[in-house]
Amino acid sequence: MELDINLLRDSLRRGNSDELATALKAHHPADLAAALQDLEPSVAWDILHQAAIPRQAAVFGYLDPDFRTLLVNSISQQDLAAIVMHMRADDRADLYRQLTEEQRETLMPALAQAEREDIRRLAAYREGTAGAIMTSAYAALPPDISASDALAVLRREAPNKETIYRAYVIDSHRKLLGSVRLQDLITAPAQTRVSALMKSCSYQIRVDEHAEEAARRIAHYDVIALPVVDADNRLVGIITHDDALDVLQAGATEDFHRVGTVTHLESGVGSASIPMLYRARIVWLMLLVFGSIFSGAGIAHFEDTIAANLALMFFLPILISSGGNAGSQSATLMIRALATGEIGLSDWTRVLGRELVLAILLGVSMACAIGVIGVVRGGQQIALVISLSMVLIVVVGSLIGMLLPFLLSRFRLDPATASTPLVTSIADATGVLIYFSIASVLLNMPA
């Protein structure tokens, strides 16, 4: 059943709290969050307030961070504390990071000591690390209890855990020994020890490693959660697959922005202000404007050749755009391959050889297509200039697009900086020089 936000608004206006509560209970929290974000924060809270507190906490976990921050301002200390107490451990740590110092000081005294300590511990990890996205709500078992006792423990703790499908086996010092599947506990003889059922954790991550690395390991090992350990191999939390998906989505969004030469946005595009969007875009646009001057300077240098052969100008946009397009394709493939770990810095020579062969094939194919038009428009000499230029421009553009990501990675810079506009600008200036250099040599040769 589709959620009708107008029905919720109408029920609120009529003061029909029962109808509101029923509607809020009937829909998934993610759908409720998406609908409420289209309303004013105060109105959204008036509606959400009619739901049970656990449902309010679930919806809070799906809200956009920017909207959630606004919504907090419409909520009393008592109501916010009740919601936070029912939120998932990682979600409430995220919320805590978004609050102002004043809001934190108001919220924390209203929470139980265990929740306060857990929030401070999780929020202390540096943004972008595995610790920053992990949750402390994991199922842990000692190695020396029986399968039946382990099931009793999981049955008791299940309501407060992210997942119990895999429990983590730890010793008295909380060092990670292995993990055991719920399925194995259920099917094993009742008196079988957990230590006999557990498997070693070949996949885990240090708390200070990058969050994207955690997401990659979850995808690589195809698990629903990844254990997080400290420097002494003590279990401190787990990262679940849904949080890993959020990390990958955020990383992909950031990469798309960099490929478009957009600097870091503090919020989503939908909620970003005009000044914020201006700052994110103006720097690279200004740099690329000055970069384009080199193309203009190249054209000015060959004014005499152009004046004597005006047909050359007809093909200039075609040749230049071909080099930029080839370079953009190559850069996109390399950036993605480097980001996913499909290739590494040591593979650059192998990739270079393959890219060179491929670029020659592409350039020759495009030269054959454009050469026919060159004969019609300017004769055989012009066609020869265009064909040779096309091959060289495509080859050079492709190599620029391939090498820039490797070069940036070599200097520990983000390869996504070798974005489409940057590669295109470099390829354009290079292409102008190649085109008119070939033209000035071949067309000025004695017949």
- HSE of 92, CA atoms in CB hemisphere, 13 A: 27
| Start-to-end Cα distance in the chain | 79
Lowest mean pLDDT segment, chosen from 139-153, 288-302, 307-321: 288-302
**What digits encode the pLDDT tens for the residues 11-46?**
777 777 777 777 778 888 888 888 888 888 888 888
**120-141: average pLDDT:** 88
Host H or E run for residue 392: helix 380-410
Pairing of strands 225-229, 205-206: parallel
Of 88-102, 154-168, 280-294, give the range with the top mean pLDDT: 154-168
Pick the CATH number of 133-250 from 3.30.1650.10, 3.40.309.10, 3.10.580.10, 3.40.50.300: 3.10.580.10
**What digits encode the pLDDT tens for the residues 373-395?**
888 887 888 889 999 999 999 99
**What digits encode the pLDDT tens for the residues 182-214?**
999 999 999 999 999 999 887 899 999 998 889
The pairs formed by 249-253 with CB atoms below 8 angstroms and a separation of 24 or more are 251/212, 251/215
CA 247 to CA 240: how far, in whole Å? 11
**132-153: average pLDDT:** 92
C-alpha pair distances (Å), 310 with each of 78, 315, 436? 77, 10, 12
CA 184 to CA 167: how far, in whole Å? 11
More confident of the two residues 27 and 300: 27
| Residue 248 CA from chain centroid, whole number | 4
Q: Which two tokens stand for residue 334?
A: 């390399």
176-181 β-sheet, strand order: 138-141, 163-170, 176-181
CA 173 to CA 305: how far, in whole Å? 80
pLDDT of residue 191: 93
CA 151 to CA 157: how far, in whole Å? 10
> Which residue in 79, 73, 28 sits closest to 53, CA to CA?
79
C-alpha pair distances (Å), 180 with each of 177, 311, 408, 433? 10, 74, 43, 65
b/e per residue 104-140 (b: at least 16 CB within 10 A): eebbbebbeeebbebbeebbebeeebbbbbbbbbbbb
Contact 426, 295 (CB under 8 A): no
CATH for 274-443? 1.10.357.20
Say yes or no to pLDDT of 228 above 90.
yes
CA 292 to CA 429: how far, in whole Å? 7
- Residue-range domain boundaries for the chain: 5-124, 133-250, 274-443
CATH for 5-124? 1.25.60.10
Neighbour count for residue 259 (Cβ, 10 Å): 21
DSSP 73: T
C-alpha pair distances (Å), 131 with each of 86, 127, 318? 21, 8, 51
CA 279 to CA 274: how far, in whole Å? 9
pLDDT of residue 263: 55
Q: Which two tokens stand for residue 402?
A: 């391939």
| Residue 430 CA from chain centroid, whole number | 32
Confidence of residue 264 (pLDDT cuts 50, 70, 90): low
CA 357 to CA 102: how far, in whole Å? 62
CA 402 to CA 423: how far, in whole Å? 10
pLDDT of residue 447: 42
Query: Phi-psi region for residue 265, left (φ > 0), alpha (ψ -120 to 50) or beta?
Result: beta
C-alpha pair distances (Å), 181 with each of 147, 166, 184, 193? 11, 4, 5, 13
Say yes or no to pLDDT of 428 above 90.
no
Q: What is the DSSP string of 239-262?
A: EEHHHHHHHHHHHHHHHHHHHTT-
Confidence of residue 69 (pLDDT cuts 50, 70, 90): confident
